[in-house]
Amino acid sequence: MDKFIIGNNEMGPEKHIWYITHLLSPQAIIAVHNGHVDFKAGTYYQQFDFEGEQYTLQIHFMFSRSLGDGEAQAAEAASMLKKSWRWYRAYMEWEDNQ
């Protein structure tokens, strides 16, 4: 099974936001925002660059449990966001070559 799937809701108010679902534990939905976005304290997110554009990945929802606070949880969130970014970047590169 793949670790990630991607989708968005074309009918929703935030149709410009893509969502990556992390299927393995810990299961989560990760929002992909185009550009730089600042979130309130306690929100796990990271910013990345690709071909001159900036993307912000944010843990939008955790299925199995909350990450909570603390260094261990922050490290787990950062690891998940980095893995999600690598997958999303590979997806964009693949899409560009189609």
Handedness of CA 39, 43, 46, 51 (dihedral sign): negative
Question: What is the torsion angle, in degrees rounded to the nearest 10, for the CA atoms of residue 8, residue 53, residue 71 and residue 67?
Answer: 0
pLDDT in tens, 27-49: 889 999 988 887 877 788 999 99
For 57-75, what is the mean pLDDT? 77
Task: Report the Cα–Cα distance between both ends of the chain, in Å, rounded.
Answer: 23
Reading the block at residue 24, the tokens are 């393995």
Give dist(CA 83, CA 98) in Å, integer: 23
76: containing domain: 4-96
The domain tally of the chain equals: 1
Give dist(CA 50, CA 85) in Å, integer: 10
**pTM to 2 decimal places:** 0.82
